[in-house]
Structure 1
Amino acid sequence: MQFKGAFTALITPFKNGAVDEEAYRGLIEWQIEQGINGLVPCGTTGESATLSHAEHGEVIRICVDQSKGRVPVLAGAGSNNTREAIELTRYAKEAGADGALLITPYYNKPTPAGLVAHFKAIANEVPMPFVVYNVPGRTALNVLPATLKAIKEAVPKVVGIKEATANLQQVSDMVEIMGPDFCMLSGDDFTVLPLLSVGGCGVISVVSNIVPDKMSGMVKAFNEGDMETARKLHFEMQPLNRAMFLETNPIPVKTSLTMMGKIGLELRLPLVEMLPENLEQLKIALKENGLI
């Protein structure tokens, strides 16, 4: 499987309203040094919704250039507008990404047939490996196992799914219906370990922005049959997982990286800095884990 293991849904650092290339390259290098298995630029955590098309292409190009083939790059390229998704996916391919992460169309709420047509249209224009991103909490749409199977049958380039429902029954049904060669990636840091236990192949993680070694270590331990270590790392990360969602992602994780000295804190509206009481809770979690 091409997209196996722990992938980080990278934040996008900004400086004076622009992409902070220096900080971004430094973060990517640190991620690879810490043992991460793959990188995902321009996802939700990367504030893709507020990136211009030019910035979108730039962020992917920087990630591909800095990683230099050491780990795969799965670039966020989805949209609720099929034409725009085609354009963003083309940027990803031209930048040299290994695959594209395509969110299901949000707001429009297409039917299952509309979903199939959406992904088929993208594949017809830009042939490259695709991972579907299913996150009903942000899209108001849930890809059910039968729909995922229909998408795969119509679009062979769909090689996996990022599942962010935290619904282990749905995940189990998907693995059962899609078979062992289809890559099931967790999009929910709380449930990575249980997802692996039913046949998942890894995670696209928020918390691995700050603890790439622990998340990649947990997946590695599980794959090597070391359940004791995997469980230990799972429970070590749980307080951090909770802290990453004290407010809307990526506000807490960017705040954490700022306190760790990796980036300067800059968010794009409509995201704003954390409330003082939540910031205090975040500091406690980071201190207890030796991160600050």
Structure 2
Amino acid sequence: MFSGCATAIITPMRRDGAIDEDGLRELVRFQEDNGISMLVPCGTTGESATLDYQEHLRVIEIVVDEAKRARVVAGTGANATSEAVHLSKAAQDLGAHALLSVSPYYNKPTPAGVVKHFEAIAGAVDIPIIVYNIPSRTGSNINAATMLKMAEIPGIAGVKEASGDLAQMAAIAASAPKDFTVLSGDDALTVPAMAVGAKGVISVVSNIVPDRVVSLVKAMNAGKLEEARRLNADLIPLVAAMFIETNPIPVKTALRVMGKPSGPFRLPLCDMSEANLDSLRKTLSSYGLI
């Protein structure tokens, strides 16, 4: 169900700070028209940390409503288990096909606490859950042993691995149940992650070049390694440009420069520096995107 390329879609904003609902629908159509098979609203790239509860659910509702082919994996993570359960149940009611739930941030729970957190979420919903492991933002890593325990929980269907630890990804992919999917959570590591057993990527850069990332993932899943290497090499400068400042600042800025729905950021995120903006423009121009 989860192999392929998923886009961690941005949340476009209007100048008055409200969600640009028409713009979000346009972005969903752009993604589907370019072959994206999964959409992930309300993740890190979607500025979920600054969306209030009603906005969070409205974004999910719009993406579910507009998507005609892509499966919607709704971001519903929270550092309070009760809030994560509440958001997950609401996203299920809105028609999400699956959930992406980040490991509890700031709290730094023990491995036992992480397992109990996801057991509670899985017990509250009837749709699959992808665990999101991103230690750089949560402050704690879900190691392979803990992830393999969670892979046995009914309803836990996969992991978005953004630890940057290929040995950890390989250990999970090698020992998890066959129906458990490892997905790369880092565009720069898509090829090596898939080489050790991941089945795809939840991508940031696919917000701007969805067709290119789809082709890369298809090549890897088809065992066409040389083609995948070539496609990956072509993407390296663009991927690097998407992370010259904190995500999603570069990717939202890129979409804005490309004339697509994007809009302002919500504090504490702000516009990128002039030097980085100039560098970003040059990179986009080299790819023919502006």
Partner amino acid, structure 2, of 1:101: L
Aligned to 1:105: 104
- Report the Cα offset of residue 141 of structure 1: 0.7
Counterpart Cα distance in 1 of 2:53 and 2:281: 34
Partner amino acid, structure 2, of 1:116: V
> Which stretch of the first structure deviates more once superposed, 240-249 or 176-185?
176-185
Matches within 5 A, 1:120-135: 120-135=119-134
Aligned to 1:232: 230
- Report the Cα offset of residue 256 of structure 1: 0.2
Matches within 5 A, 1:151-190: 151-153=150-152, 155-190=153-188
- Report the Cα offset of residue 165 of structure 1: 1.2
Counterpart Cα distance in 2 of 1:256 and 1:231: 25
Aligned to 1:20: 20
Contact 1:145 1:177 in 2 (8 A): no
Counterpart Cα distance in 2 of 1:181 and 1:264: 36
> Which stretch of the first structure deviates more once superposed, 34-43 or 170-179?
170-179
Contact 1:6 1:37 in 2 (8 A): yes
- Report the Cα offset of residue 28 of structure 1: 0.6
Partner amino acid, structure 1, of 2:45: T
Q: Give the total of aligned pairs.
A: 289
Q: Does 1:139 align with 2:147?
A: no
Counterpart Cα distance in 1 of 2:230 and 2:94: 38
Matches within 5 A, 1:6-85: 6-15=5-14, 16-68=16-68, 70-85=69-84
Aligned to 1:265: 263
Counterpart Cα distance in 2 of 1:98 and 1:32: 16
Q: Does 1:288 align with 2:270?
A: no
- Report the Cα offset of residue 122 of structure 1: 1.2
- Report the Cα offset of residue 264 of structure 1: 4.1
Aligned to 1:248: 246
Counterpart Cα distance in 2 of 1:160 and 1:264: 30
In the alignment, structure 2 segments of 5+ residues that lack a partner are none
Counterpart Cα distance in 2 of 1:173 and 1:60: 33
Q: Does 1:213 align with 2:211?
A: yes
Partner amino acid, structure 2, of 1:122: I
Report the CA distance shift for 1:193/1:13 in structure 2 as closer, same or farther (over 3 A): same
> Which stretch of the first structure deviates more once superposed, 174-183 or 130-139?
174-183
Counterpart Cα distance in 2 of 1:209 and 1:275: 21
Counterpart Cα distance in 2 of 1:123 and 1:88: 12
Which deviations, in whole Å up to 9, do the C-alpha atoms of 1:59-91 show, x marking residues without a partner? 0010011113x1111000000011110111112
Contact 2:249 2:270 in 1 (8 A): yes
Contact 1:37 1:71 in 2 (8 A): yes
Which deviations, in whole Å up to 9, do the C-alpha atoms of 1:219-259 show, x marking residues without a partner? 11122232222111101111111101110000000000001
- Report the Cα offset of residue 179 of structure 1: 4.1
Contact 1:36 1:216 in 2 (8 A): yes
TM-score w.r.t. structure 2 length? 0.97
Which deviations, in whole Å up to 9, do the C-alpha atoms of 1:110-142 show, x marking residues without a partner? 011101110111122223200000000000110
Contact 1:180 1:199 in 2 (8 A): no
Partner amino acid, structure 2, of 1:111: T
Aligned to 2:4: 5
Matches within 5 A, 1:76-95: 76-95=75-94
TM-score w.r.t. structure 1 length? 0.97
Counterpart Cα distance in 2 of 1:158 and 1:177: 15
Contact 2:199 2:221 in 1 (8 A): no
Contact 1:257 1:263 in 2 (8 A): yes
Aligned to 1:119: 118
Counterpart Cα distance in 1 of 2:262 and 2:2: 30
* SS of residue in 1 equivalent to 2:130: strand
* SS of residue in 2 equivalent to 1:14: coil
Partner amino acid, structure 2, of 1:81: A
- Report the Cα offset of residue 24 of structure 1: 0.6
Which deviations, in whole Å up to 9, do the C-alpha atoms of 1:139-163 show, x marking residues without a partner? 011011110112222x210000000
* SS of residue in 2 equivalent to 1:161: strand
> Which stretch of the first structure deviates more once superposed, 95-104 or 169-178?
169-178
